[in-house]
Amino acid sequence: MEIRTTCPYCGVGCGLTVARGGTGVRIEGDPVHPANFGRLCSKGAALAETLDLDGRLLQAEIGGRPSSFETALDTVARGFTRTLAEHGPEALAFYVSGQLLTEDYYVANKLMKGFLGSANIDTNSRLCMASAVAGHKRAFGADLVPCSYDDVDAADLVVLVGSNTAWCHPVLFQRIVAAKAERGARVIVIDPRRTATCDAADLHLPIRPGTDVMLFNGLLAYLQATGAMDARFVAAHTENAAAALAAARADAPSIDAVAAGCGIPAGAVAELYASFAATPRAVTLFSQGVNQSSSGTDKVNAIINVHLATGRIGRPGAGPFSLTGQPNAMGGREVGGLANQLAAHMDFTPEATDRVRRFWNAPHVATRPGLKAVELFDAIDSGSIRAVWIMSTNPVVSMPDADKVRRALERCDLVVVSDCVRRTDTTECADVLLPAAAWGEKSGTVTNSERRISRQRAFLPPPGASRPDWWIVSRVAQRMGFTDAFAYRGPADIFREHARLSAFENGGTRDFDLGALATLSDLEYETLDPVQWPVSASPDLNAAAALAAGTFCTPSGKARFVAVTSRPPAAVATAQYPLLLNTGRVRDHWHTLTRTGLSAKLSQRDTEPFVQVHPDDAARLGITDGDLGELTARTGRMLARVQVTGDVRAGELFAPMHWNAQFASEGRVGTLIDAVTDSISGQPELKCAAVGLKRFAPCWHGFLASRQRLEIADVSYCVAAKADGYWAYVLAGDAVPGTWRQWSRAICGTDCDWIEVADAAAGRYRGAALRDGRLVACVLIGSRPVMGARDALAELFRGGAIPASARLGILSGSLGSVDADRGAIICSCFSVGRATLVEAIQSQRLTSTREIGAALRAGTSCGSCLSELSALLAEAPTSPSGLRRSLAAR
C-alpha cells in the first residue's frame, strides 16, 4: 500500500509516497503534492537509507541506566513538580524543535504556557527564522508570509537574499530554474559568498556581510527618486512611509555610497535597482543570511519596505518571501512555540491571555513572554532555570557558544531529553532520556514555507519503547495532575483543538485561522489533502483575500513601513581574530548529521568539516588547499579541512554547521560563535564571527576503514563518515601513539588476523585486519594526508575473502590514494564524481546536462546537482591540457 507523507528536512515541505514491500521501503516524490509535484532533492531521495535502527534510542534511561518508560515519566513529572513547587514556574523550561509535528508542538506549548505558568518554551526555529517573524509582525501586524510557490513560478524577477536556495531549498530552486528557462525570469543573488545558487544567477552581488539594510535602503530611495513607487498603494494601504524613506535616504544617499558601503561595484547596484524598479512581478526570497544577524529584523523590514513601496505584495508573482529552514518551523510559529508568542498567533495581551485561559480551561496561563533560546540557556547556566526538557533537537551543536551550552546543561539540576537518537552531544548531558518515535513512525501535520499544511503519516511501527512526542508530553502532564486537559486519543484530537483555538473569538482579527478544519472527522483528518491557511469557517473572514485587497492585521488595516538604518555585524575583526567566519549548510547534509549522517550516499560528497579560505588569505597564512586548519575564537576552537577558493571574499571564511562530536572530534562550528542576538527577534548572529586561522600541522595523518563503527580517542583529529558497507575515518595526530601495530589492534580488535607493513623512518604504516580472509578493517598512516580510495574499499568490504592482489594493494599503499577514485562527488544519487564528469565531457564532447544524464545518469534523479553540472560544462576543458588542468584542480 502506498502512503502519502512529507519530507522531514527543509521548509519546502515536499510530498512523498512511501511503499513498503518485500525489498524494503521505496520513497519517491508525490506527483500531486503542490510543493514538489514529484520532485525530490538528494536528501529526500535518500530517506530510505536513514530508517535503520542503528543508533536509535529504544528504551528510556535514567542516569545512564535503562528504565521502564513509566518510571522515566514518573521521574520527569516528579522533577518538574518539585522544581515548580520549590522555585516557581520561571525555573522550568522546554527547548523544542522545528522537527516536531504541529500536534507535538501544540501539546508542549499548552503544558508550559497554560498549566505550568511560564512561557519558557522556545524552539530551535529561533535560530533560523525568528527575525522573519519579528519583521512580519512589525510590517503586517501578524506573522504572515504573504507568498506562495506559485508566485515564484509567476515572477519575472527572483531576488535571492542570503539564501543558498540551490542547496538549502533545492526543489524550490528547481522551480526558479524552470521559471528562468521557460519564461525568461531574471535571477539576482545577494550573498557574500559565491554559492551554487549563483550558477543560475544573471547577477550576483557579493556584498560585505551585514550590509543588506543599506542595499535595500538604497533601493527604497532609488524607487522614490525615479518615480517607481506605487503612490496609490502606499497612500491607501500603508503607513509610516515618510519616516522609512527619510531613513533610507540618510542611510544610502547614492548608488556610489551603497556600492562603497556594501563593497561591490556601483554598476551591480545600479543593475539591481533598475531591474527591481522595472519588474512588477518581483519576488524577494530570503533566508538565514538575512535572519541570522544582529540586525536581522531590520533586514527583513528593509526588504518588505521595497515591496510595500511598489505595491508588490498580495499580487500574483510578487512579494517578500521568507523561506523557513525546518519542515515544521511554520507549524511551531502557529501553535506559539516561540517564547514571545502565546498561542495561535496571539501575543501576551490581557485579552489574549484571558481568551486562551478560557479556551484551555487552564489554571496558570503565562502572562508575559518567556526566555528566548540564548537567554534560556544563559538562565540554565546561571541557575535560575533548574529543570529543562529538550525535545528533538541538539543545542550543544547548533547553538552559538556551544561549549557554554554544554556546561550549562551539565550543571542543571534536571535535564530531560526526548529524542530518537541515543547518542548526540545533547543526550550526553541528559539525566533522563525518553525514546521518541522517529519521522517514519509519527502521524500529524507540518506546515511549509508557503503556509501549506500537509499530513505526515506513519508507515513504520515505533520500535522498542519509543512513543510519539505528543504522547510523551501528555503522559507527563497527566502525571502532574492535568488529566482532563491532556486526555488526547491521538493527533486528530489535538489538531481539531488547535484549529478550534485558531478560530476562537477570532472574527477576522487574526490572520491564522483554521476554523474550517476544526470539525474534521478522524477519517477526514487521516485523508486530509495539503491545504494553505487561512481556512476560515466563514468565507467572509478569508485573510488571504484580505491581503490581496491590501488589508493587513494592524489596528488600521494598513501595512507599516519601518524606518531602518544599517549597522555592521557585532563581530569585529581584531589582531587576534582577524577573519570573519560565515556559517551555513552543505547540499547533502541536514542540521547536526543525526539523520543524513546515516546515509552513505549523502556522506560521500562532504566527508569532513571544511573551511573555505580566499586565496589571498591562504597565501598570507601559508595554508594550502587540503591542509588542516585550526580555527580559534574567544569562545572555542575547531579543526577543519581547508578549501582555498575565490568563492569567499578576502578576509572572510565559510564553514558548515553540521558536524557534531559523534562525527568529528573538533568539528562543532557553534563553539566559535559569540551568542550575540538581534535585540528584537532574539535570533543569534550565526553568520558572522571573528576568528583566527592557522595551519594545523600534525605529525601524522591517517585513514581507517572499518566494517563496524569504532570509538577512536586520543587523536587530534578524527572524522567519521558512513561509506558504502563500512565506516571511513580521516585521522591526524600530534603524537604517535606508541606503535601503530598496537594502536591498530587496540582500536580495530585483537581477534583478527593482521597483515601489515611499517616504515618507522618514513612514518608510514599500512595494515589490514582480516577474519576468515574477509576484510574487517584497514589502517593507512603517513606523514601526509591519506584519503582512502573509497570505491575500491567498498568492493573489498562487499566481497568475500580478499584476493592476494588486494592485500598487496593495501600494503603497497595504492588504496590510500584518492587518485584511484572518481573525484569529489557531484551527483550523489548515482555517485558520479567530478573526475568522471570532466573526463566524459571531454572525451564524449558533451555539451548539455541532458547529454551528461544520458551518458552517466548524473542529474537525472533528484536534480540537486544540475547547477553544478552546468558550471562544469561552462568551464569544461576543450583540450587535453585543459583536461589535465581541470583534473589537477579537483
Which residues are at the interface with ligand SF4 (CB under 6 A)? 7, 9-10, 12-14, 36, 40-41, 43-44, 169-171
Pure H helices in 50-189:
69-87, 102-110, 126-140, 149-154, 165-168, 170-183
CB nearer to ligand SF4: give 38 or 813: 38
**Shortest Å distance, C-beta 44 to ligand SF4:** 2
- C-alpha cell of 670? 557553534
Question: Which of 225, 196, 649 lies closest to 187 in space, CA to CA?
Answer: 196
User: How far is 212 from 489, CA to CA, in rounded Å?
Assistant: 48
Shortest approach of ligand SF4 to residue 449 CB, angstroms? 10
Identity of the residue, 44 or 400, whose beta carbon is nearer to ligand SF4 in the bound complex: 44
Question: Which is closer to ligand SF4, CB of 172 or CB of 259?
Answer: 172
Shortest Å, Cβ 27 to ligand SF4: 10
Kindly tell me which of 279 and 594 has the beta carbon lying closer to ligand SF4.
594
Q: Which of 529/875 has CB closer to ligand SF4?
A: 529
Q: How far apart are CB 181 and ligand SF4 at their closest, in Å?
A: 19
Q: Report the nearest approach of ligand SF4 to the CB of residue 431 (Å).
A: 33
Closer of 19 and 62 to ligand SF4 (Cβ):
19
Q: Are 258 and 252 in contact (CB under 8 A)?
A: yes
- Nearest approach, Cβ of residue 693 and ligand SF4 (Å): 31
Distance CA 706, CA 92 (A): 44
How do strand 452-456 and strand 531-532 relate by DSSP bridges?
antiparallel
Residue 173 C-beta: closest distance to ligand SF4, Å: 8
Contact 251, 214 (CB under 8 A): yes
Q: Give the Cα separation of 70 and 60 in Å (integer).
A: 9
| Closest CB to ligand SF4 among residues 323, 535 | 323
Say how far apart CA 366 and CA 348 lie, in whole Å.
8
What are the beta bridge partners of residue 447? 453
Q: Look at residues 606, 612, 665 and name the one whose alpha carbon lies nearest to residue 638.
A: 665
CB of 863 to ligand SF4, least distance (A): 10
CB 344 within 8 A of CB 335: yes
CB 586 within 8 A of CB 658: yes
| Cβ distance to ligand SF4 smaller for residue 50 or 842 | 50
Beta-bridged to residue 26, according to DSSP, are: 19
Measured from the CB atom, the residue of 36 and 474 that comes closer to ligand SF4 is 36
Does the CA dihedral 224-230-232-237 come out positive or negative? negative
Q: 27 or 769, CB closer to ligand SF4? A: 27
Shortest Å, Cβ 590 to ligand SF4 = 7
Do the beta carbons of residue 836 and residue 856 sit within 8 Å? Answer: yes
**Which of 821, 753, 771 lies closest to 793, judged by CA?**
821
Smallest gap from residue 691 Cβ to ligand SF4 (A): 29
CA atoms of 184 and 187, how far apart (whole Å): 9
Distance CA 280, CA 658 (A): 39
Residue 480: what are its φ and ψ, rounded to 5°?
-85, 5
* 41 vs 775 by CB, closer to ligand SF4: 41
What is the distance between the alpha carbons of residues 466 and 436, in angstroms, rounded to a whole number? 5
Q: Which one, 44 or 141, has the nearer CB to ligand SF4?
A: 44
Q: Hey, what's the cell of 9?
A: 528536512
Please name the residues in contact with 675: beta carbons below 8 A apart, sequence gap of 6 or more: 374, 378, 399, 400, 401, 404, 684
Residue whose C-beta lies closest to ligand SF4? 44
The least CB distance from residue 171 to ligand SF4, in Å, is 4
* Dist. CA 374–CA 615, nearest whole Å: 35
Q: Which residues contact 624 (CB under 8 A, 6 or more apart)?
A: 618, 642, 644
CB atoms inside a 10 Å sphere around CB 358: 12
Residue 6 C-beta: closest distance to ligand SF4, Å: 7
